[in-house]
Structure 1
Amino acid sequence: MIIHTEEDVILLVKQDKWLMDILRTAAQLHLPDWWVCAGVVRSKFWDVLHGYQEPTPAADIDVIYFDPSNLDEENEKVLEHRLAELRPGLPWSVKNEARMHKVNNLPPYLSSVDAISKFPETATSIGISLSSVGEVLLTAPWGVQDLVHLRVKPTPFFRAAPNGAQIYEQRIAQKQWTRQWPNLSIFGMTD
């Protein structure tokens, strides 16, 4: 499959039974401003672009939402438990981005999409969701070009952040993505 545009990305999501099941399961929580994002989405595309028939196992399935009216972290655990009841055996991770800025020592996020724009890599700064009528939604604050061209680059936010270089370089070293996806091009902070 050739993937070049946001429309191609949405089409691939629509055609992927597993991702659609993830989205439909997450939608049952009826969370405000919710998205399935980061590694589980990115890895799916990297697998497809590498021609892998079997998906890379997900370390976690990130479901984020934005609800400033309930910042209790325990609520996120309740939601993870609910997802595990709805779809057992998956590594669900639920985070309310209305509180995550504190964890990341950043100014408050304005929305889930704002939080996604502050993820470290452009190819990871991607989220998918379902509209109220079941249409696949995509957010890609820095576009999909790095994702679909197998490029790992820091987001503009991380390029400008005081400790962005350190965090980005640590993630690249820790993740060792080229072991799983050898066609990736890894870019540094100044590339």
Structure 2
Amino acid sequence: MMDKGKIITLIKEDEWMMEILLAAKSLNLPDWWICAGFVRSKIWDVLHNFSERTPLPDIDVIYFDSKNIDEIEEKKFEEMLIKIMPNIPWSVKNEARMHIKSNMPPYSSSVDAISKFPETATALGVKLDSKNNVILVAPCGISDVINLEVKPTPFFAEDKLRVEIYEDRIVQKNWKSIWSNLKVEHINTSSLI
């Protein structure tokens, strides 16, 4: 049975994932997490009994620093990570500025930003504590990701424009072509404002 403890164990036992977490931790970023596909894909790969890891288009490292929201800082952190692990497609974003890019109200923290990702199965983050224990955050819970269900987060389900973004992502990502057992929820936008 998959639960939070099992997810943490899967990550702890994955040498590649731990190397990535240690690299991100070495930057000492405030309120940092590695999120989205890094966690979700691991869970779905295990639940589909894949023997090889599904390639990731990027490794999403997020942090929250409202004192310096200059995008140049993010690029500096990406460069630092590339020096540590050059073959990883790093993507570093300061969630204190991402609401501007996404045209949304400001986030209060990285976890608040994760809770407003488009899909519940993607609204996941992991990091290491001071003793290198894996910490998992799932503001929308883990039920959907472990039950192979793709649904919009509450934030994306309540607004017509955001539902359209969610629906576009479902088409664009085409996750069902990789993980065939997924159940994808579609939202009828005619009832939304």
TM-score surpassing 0.5?
yes
Structure 1 residue identity aligned to 2:107: Y
Aligned residues, how many?
Answer: 188
Counterpart in the other structure of 1:101: 99
User: Is residue 2:76 matched to residue 1:81?
Assistant: no
Larger mean CA deviation between 121-130 and 152-161 belongs to 152-161
Q: Distance in 1 between matches of 2:79 and 2:187?
A: 38
Equivalent residue letter for 1:26? A
- Matches of 1:65 and 1:186 in 2, distance apart? 29
- Read off the aligned partner of 2:113 and give its amino acid letter: A
Q: Secondary structure at the match of 2:163?
A: helix
- After superposition, where does 1:167-186 map in structure 2 within 5 Å? 167-186=165-184
1:123 partner SS:
coil
Establish whether residue 64 from structure 1 lines up as the match of residue 62 from structure 2.
yes
Measured on the aligned residues, the alpha-carbon RMSD in Å equals 0.9
- 1:162 & 1:178 partners in 2: Cα distance? 24
Equivalences for 1:89-128 in 2 at 5 Å?
89-128=87-126
Deviates more, 1:8-17 or 1:74-83: 8-17
Residue of structure 2 equivalent to 1:154: 152
Q: Which runs of 4+ in 1 moved over 3 A?
A: none
Structure 1 CA distance, aligned partners of 2:187 and 2:151? 7
Q: Which moved more, 1:39-48 or 1:123-132?
A: 39-48
**What SS is found at the alignment partner of 1:77?**
helix
1:161 Cα deviation (Å)? Answer: 2.7
- CA offset at residue 100 of structure 1? 0.3
TM-score (norm. length: structure 1): 0.96
1:45-76 CA-partner distances (Å, limit 9, x unpaired): 11111111110111000000000111110110
Say whether residues 1:32 and 2:34 are aligned partners. no
3-state SS in 2 of match to 1:100: helix
Q: Percent identity?
A: 55
Match of 2:51 among 50, 53, 68: 53
* Rounded Cα–Cα distance in structure 1 between residues aligned with 2:38 and 2:30: 20
Amino acid at match of 2:132: G
- Measure, in 1, the Cα distance between the counterparts of 2:39 and 2:79: 21
The residue that corresponds to 1:138 in the other structure is 136
SS at match of 1:163: helix
Residues 77-107 of structure 1: CA deviation (Å, up to 9, x unaligned): 0100000000111100000000000001111
